[in-house]
A and B are shown apart, each in its own frame.
Chain A
């Protein structure tokens, strides 16, 4: 996750409280989604940004995970996301996301 986004995530969690922030990812790959999820939960694994050594433990999901899909109007989901759902390796993304959340 780039340094600017890390800074913004940190600011939001300080402003609203970590328990009130949900991070929604749109990464195209499981590995990239997992890295971003790790950054906003356990801390920046590259030790380069504002979240290095900062474990925010934020709730984090990928837009293609079933938990998120259920919360969204099916028509909107169809219009905005369904094409990418066909393109992405959703199973791989879900596995990576679950693996990170399991560590919390």
Chain B
């Protein structure tokens, strides 16, 4: 049996996009249609956070790797009224990019001249992105072609169906439509897709840079976001993966897209782990950009309760799955949970299929897993919106099922939740919170010896696509690397056997010298 694949690197990025909350989040765009004079729309701008406040938001610092989960747990809830003592842009896993630079990155990611920026704005953006240091000179030169005056941008937005790009409520650019009839190439869709591509590229560039990965070493890229790109004849044709790989300079890679709503990333990681274990590819990068539609999704509740708009960031991540190096944590793609067509939708069936069934098959107890990572939404966002603490509910469900199985006592539920659970920190960007935000921290915990085994659980609500009412999910175990397994060479001779043969030859040679 070939070696398991390993988690070689992970990156997590955010782009702070407060103006996009107003113009591109569906809660707000819907309100503009059905109730354009609403108090919510009037009050909203005052609830938008500055970039500095976004950096100082402790869950954001946790997402990019500057705050551990234990440190976040020690922060008294709620988080929105607390400030990080070290509000920095860059973290161990990634960074938080300001909106203006993100618009520049969008233009660099656009190869059809659809993104236009106001000329003076573009000059500043170019200088900032140059200082960022992750783009090539010819990529930055794309920003030089912006000779647009504000009046022309206004005309495109007002008369040509372009989507405006705003900075501090001022028009600074736009995304043009790519076709005059096809809704799949409308300015709205193109903006969504370019944002997704740009945030995926941002995460890949961060991974390459922070983890010192050779771009040419990556053979295959899997994108697992929730958007679809294509024209009216193939609405979800793809391929976000290859498009992002091109901009990120992964010249030796091809790729494809995997979809599964919020469970998409877990499916994609399993695909990557299997491709590597099978020997098809050595290094597979799983990536996803974020989603403009979900910006300010719970904004009405946040404004009503006097909170800032907490969903003001586009999220992205990349995880590199590589062949076994004998060091990094392994992905046990033989211990996999799956919600099948026949599983049913009752929560205990769901948790059973994803958590206890695979552990049973492997002869493991629930308590053998140090940490579970299901949906990891930041409760600061979901609780005021009436959706509760999603991660905590998941850990309670795992604990309650363990009680029903007799693995733990009912009185042990709170201790189990704390010991084997996590406090949520991920932005509510659909696929982004689903298990994968913990892959980086789990890798570090296993490497430093504070954990030996974790379970990543992806769950998805398929009813949203109106194709099925079924729920979905997959899970897999990540374990400490026991050291590289001995590989059998083509002739059926193991490394140990080769060593023994060499030793024997050396002995014979030494003896021959003595004769």
- Residues of B contacting A46 with CB < 8 Å? 300
CA distance A79 to B397 in the complex (A): 14
Report yes or no: A84 in contact with B397, Cβ–Cβ below 8 A.
yes
Taking a contact as CB atoms under 8 Å apart, the answer to whether A81 and B346 are in contact is: yes
Contact between B348 and A79, CB atoms less than 8 A apart: yes
Contacting residue for B348 out of A28, A31, A83, CB 8 A: A83
| Chain B residues positioned under 8 Å from A83 (CB to CB) | 347-348, 351, 397, 400-401, 404
Whether B293 sits at the interface, judged by CB under 8 Å, is no
Tell me the complex Cα distance, A83–B393, Å.
11
Determine the chain B residues whose CB is within 8 A of the CB of A31 once the complex forms: 386
Determine if B403 and A84 form an interchain contact, defined as CB atoms under 8 angstroms apart. Answer: no
Which of A29, A35, A48, A87 interacts with B400 by CB under 8 Å?
A: A87
| In the bound complex, CA of A25 to CA of B136 (Å) | 55
Whether B396 and A29, one on each chain, are in contact in the complex, defined by CB atoms closer than 8 angstroms, is no
Interface presence of A32 (CB below 8 A): yes
Question: Residue of A at shortest CB range from B385?
Answer: A32
**Are B346 and A86 touching (Cβ within 8 A)?**
no
Complex: A83 Cα to B350 Cα, angstroms: 11
Question: Which chain A residues lie closer than 8 Å to B35 at the CB level?
Answer: 48
List of B residues within 8 angstroms of A32 by Cβ: 386-388
**Assuming A28-B393, A87-B393, is B404 touching A82 (CB within 8 A)?**
yes
Chain B CB within 8 A of A103 CB: no
Contacts of A20 in B (CB 8 A): none
Determine if A15 is an interface residue (Cβ-Cβ < 8 Å): no
Question: Which residues of chain A have C-beta atoms less than 8 A from B397's C-beta?
Answer: 83-84, 87
Residues of B within 8 A of A81 (CB): 346
- With A84-B397, A86-B410 already in contact, the answer to whether A79 and B387 are too (CB < 8 A) is no
In Å, the complex CA distance between A99 and B30 comes to: 31
CB <8 Å contact, A79 and B346: yes
* Docked-complex contact B393 and A86, CB < 8 angstroms: no
What 1/0 flags go to B373-400 for Cβ under 8 Å of A? 0000000000000111000010011001
Would A29 and B386 count as touching, CB distance under 8 A?
yes
Task: Report A61-76 CB contacts with B as 1/0, cut-off 8 Å.
Answer: 0000000000000000
Q: Is the CB of B348 within 8 A of A84?
A: yes
Residues A38-66 near B (CB distance < 8 A): 46, 48
What is the CA–CA distance of A79 and B413 in the complex, to the nearest angstrom? 19
Is B34's beta carbon under 8 Å from chain A?
yes
Residues from chain A with Cβ under 8 Å of B403 in the complex: 86
Query: Which residues from chain A contact B404 at a C-beta distance below 8 Å?
Result: 82-83
CA distance A101 to B412 in the complex (A): 35
CB distance from A72 to the nearest CB of B (A): 12
Report A33 CB to chain B, min CB distance, Å: 9
Q: Which residue of A lies closest to B383 (CB)?
A: A29
Pair A82/B386 contact, Cβ less than 8 Å:
no
Complex: how many Å from CA A8 to CA B363?
46
Kindly state the interface size class of chain A when it binds its partner: 10 to 19
Closest chain A residue, CB of each to CB of B400: A86
How far is the CB of A95 from the nearest CB of chain B, in Å? 15
Smallest distance from the beta carbon of A91 to chain B beta carbons, Å?
A: 15
Q: Which residues of A contact B388 (CB under 8 A)?
A: 28-29, 32
The residue that A86 contacts in the complex, of B34, B300, B396, with Cβ under 8 A, is B396
B residues within 8 A CB of A87?
A: 347, 393, 396-397, 400
The answer for the CA separation of A48 and B33 in the assembled complex, in Å, is: 12
In the assembled complex, the CB of A19 is this many whole angstroms from the nearest CB of chain B, namely 28
For the complex, what is the distance from the CA of A87 to the CA of B399, rounded to whole Å?
Answer: 9
Write the nearest CB–CB distance from B459 to chain A, whole angstroms: 14
Residues in chain B near residue A29, CB distance under 8 A: 386-388
* Residues of A contacting B300 in the complex (Cβ-Cβ under 8 angstroms): 46
Alpha-carbon distance A53/B34, docked complex (angstroms): 16
B400 contacts across to A, CB distance below 8 A: 83-84, 86-87
Q: Give bound CA distance, A29 to B392, whole Å.
A: 13
Residues of B with C-beta under 8 A to A84: 347-348, 397, 400
Q: How far is the CA of A50 from the CA of B394 in the complex (A)?
A: 33
Residues of A within 8 A of B413 (CB): 86
Q: Smallest Cβ distance from A68 to chain B, in angstroms?
A: 15
Cβ contacts under 8 Å, B349 to chain A: 80
CA separation between A86 and B348, bound complex, in Å?
11
Taking CB atoms, residues of chain B closer than 8 Å to A80 are 346, 348-349
Say how far B270's CB is from chain A's closest CB, in angstroms: 26
Encode contact with B along A20-37: 1 for CB under 8 Å, 0 otherwise: 000000001101100100
Given contacts A80-B348, A84-B397, A86-B396, 8 further A-B contacts (CB under 8 A): A28-B393, A31-B386, A32-B388, A46-B300, A80-B346, A83-B348, A87-B397, A87-B400
Nearest first, the 8 A-B pairs at minimum CB distance are A83-B348, A86-B400, A87-B396, A32-B386, A80-B346, A83-B400, A29-B388, A31-B386
* B interface residues with partner A (beta carbon < 8 Å): 34-35, 300, 346-349, 351, 386-388, 393, 396-397, 400-401, 403-404, 410, 413
What are 26 A-B interface contacts by the 8 Å CB criterion?
A28-B388, A28-B393, A29-B386, A29-B388, A31-B386, A32-B387, A35-B386, A46-B300, A48-B35, A79-B346, A79-B348, A80-B348, A82-B404, A83-B347, A83-B348, A83-B400, A83-B401, A83-B404, A84-B348, A86-B396, A86-B403, A86-B410, A86-B413, A87-B347, A87-B397, A87-B400
